[in-house]
Amino acid sequence: MAPSFQWWAKESHRGTPVVVKMENPNWSMVELEGPTEDDFLITTGSPGSGRTRDKGHRGRKNAKQLTWVLMLKAHRAAGCLTSIASAMFGLAALIRRRLASGRTDSDEIENENEHEHENDDASVEGMGREKENPAVKTRFYFCIKMFLWVSVILLGFEVAAYFKGWHFGAPKLLRFQLQSLWATPLGVKGLFDWIYSRWVLIRVEYLAPPLQFLANACIVLFLIQSIDRLVLCLGCFWIRFKKIQPVLKEDNLADLESGEKGGYFPMVLVQIPMCNEKEVYQQSIAAVCNLEWPKSKILIQVLDDSDDPTTQLLIKEEVHKWQQEGANIVYRHRVIRDGYKAGNLKSAMNCSYVKDYEFVAMFDADFQPNPDFLKRTVPHFKGNEELGLVQARWSFVNKDENLLTRLQNINLAFHFEVEQQVNGVFINFFGFNGTAGVWRIKTLEDAGGWLERTTVEDMDIAVRAHLKGWKFIFLNDVECQCELPESYEAYRKQQHRWHSGPMQLFRLCLPDIIRAKISFWKKFNMIFLFFLLRKLILPFYSFTLFCIILPMTMFIPEAQLPAWVVCYIPATMSFLNILPAPKSFPFIVPYLLFENTMSVTKFNAMISGLFQLGSAYEWVVTKKSGRSSEGDLVSLVEKEQQPKPHRGVSESNLEEMKEEIRQQEQKSSQKKKKKHNRIYTKELALAFLLLTASARSLLSAQGIHFYFLLFQGVSFLLVGLDLIGEQVE
């Protein structure tokens, strides 16, 4: 933290020197003399009493100190300017290296296709779907490029017209004037004027009306979604004002306090599905094995779908270690790995011993539940036979790692604090988050079990359970630590899966929702609010309105977007979104711009899921870095200091496993895929489209539109050059 130079605002002892240390090591330390007794004398006597001299002395001393403070502030400002300049030079050098490397997202797709061809088990065909035609993925990019080239041509045309005196805007454009120009013979006026007058008439007659209609339709959708967001925020405010939260009954609390002998400790199955996640498997297994629950009442399943032999051996060794320490834990690996995570969970639930358990808790490989997680979630099921799911909130160990993780934290804080909590309190339904939750096994069986038909198996099972009449509870005060994707590549793939899967599910579940024996309000909530408004309409209008229609209105000024649509309402919605994460208020502007930037990925994913394109069935495990919280690191150090007698058990088998691991690592190191920052072509194309439109808006003197297009274009440019997340050296 930078030191504060407002020494007068702090309490200090009289006569004690005040030392101010500059943050920049190039500056020296300056000692300011503190106030003395004479500084606090007030001139109340006569002019000749001697007090006047003290007053003048005090004035000279304060002036000297103020001069020093101003000099220090000037030094600090100069240091900031220097750091900004060096940062800009570093950014320019990074951009040059990024462009020189030439690695784009299209190269990434080709590498993934080759990898899928070599590993048939991990391919998209695992769900029984056909691979996507590469032409399908490039079609969306081709459309964006077409818009870009048209905008560049129109910009040149408009600049030439501007210098020829065509300065009138849409409000001043009179049709009869253009018609008179059209009727003027070609020889009387120049060729350019003749062409431009016809272009303006084509705009007025044919292009502006449909564009304005589409803009008005998107504005209506925008307002509806904004009202929904406002209602959710009001619901969250009401919950906080009334202090509404799921509360355990008194007898349930008494059961917990009575201990293992007389308490409520039903049989709980804990599942940890994972796939090639060797960065995080140790901390997740350790956290689950330390859950406070009777050993005879809990069984932990490590469901390993890894196709990397080295990772398999490492996870096996970790499970064996915890077995030696007394944990009731088993390792499972599927030979036929169909259905991704849903297939993995379905296979685990088919084990014969599952019938002995009443509840199942699920944690992804990067989740670290607190030891009291089961004690704070499972008791809610007692005496509530209609309750099928208890969902806990996520917290993030790396939310301050970089700008990308900070922006993700804003989104997810709103999702849990507002969306999940409000839906859980008022309608007892929300989408299962896939992890950090406890299910009643009877609920899973009644809903039909895990199905591999979509990439959002968690939302699928939640919708089918709700249609069967089961209720859900969200616990906002129970948190489970996990990781956020630190690279834009990983975050982009995660968001593609999260936004294509709901559209697949909507197509499959719509007939079941209509036929379900639930109230009309619940059907309306599930169809219109849960699926259409929040999963389809939101990415549609975000991309169409701000990335297509707004730039086009700059070149077709007869169609207009009001300033309140471009600036005021988006700023208000961003303010509401950031309320659950108040420490993130300095990032409100980057958050607004980044959400519009991500609308490209979300819109593409929504279209692919809605129309059953091949990319809708892609499942890519989100990359983890294996970060732990401070408490985890302390416990790890303490654990390392303890003796490990289990290492002597089966020493020969252990040595064989280590030797096999070394051999596998040598083989994999030869063809190991290195991490790279890439250039994302769609984002870059849209960046230049928006910057071109911002240049056109200067000709019309549209202030708010210009600044929005400029900053949004810069945002797309930074994301397209992969400068927002983890930077790989």
725 near 404, Cβ under 8 Å?
A: yes
CB atoms within 10 A of CB 146: 11
Q: How far apart are CA 448 and CA 383, in angstroms?
A: 24
Given the residues 105, 364, 366, 458, the one annotated as active site: 458
CB atoms within 10 A of CB 209: 13
403 near 587, Cβ under 8 Å?
A: yes
Longest dimension (CA), the chain: 104
What is the torsional sign of CA 699, 703, 704, 709?
positive
Q: Return all residues near 210 (Cβ < 8 A) that are at least 6 apart.
A: none
Pairs from 177-183 (Cβ < 8 Å, separation ≥ 24): 178/204
Local structure of 465: helix, strand or coil: helix
38 in active site: no
Tokens 């943050």 identify what position? Answer: 23
Of residues 175, 208, 161, the one with CA closest to residue 700: 161
Q: What is the DSSP string of 150-194?
A: HHHHHHHHHHHHHHTT----TTT--HHHHHHHHHS-TTTS-HHHH
Measured CA distances, 196 to 16, 189, 699 (Å) = 77, 11, 16
**Parallel, antiparallel, or unpaired: how do β-strands 387-396 and 471-482 relate?**
parallel
Rounded to a whole number of angstroms, the CA Rg of the chain reads 32
321 near 646, Cβ under 8 Å?
A: yes
Of residues 446, 460, 560, the one with CA closest to residue 505: 460
Given the residues 305, 366, 460, 722, the one annotated as active site: 305
121 in active site: no
Amino acid letter, residue 429: F
Q: How far apart are CA 719 and CA 678, in angstroms?
A: 10
Please report the beta strands in 228-278, taking only residues with DSSP state E, as ranges in sequence order: 268-274
Active site residues: 305, 458
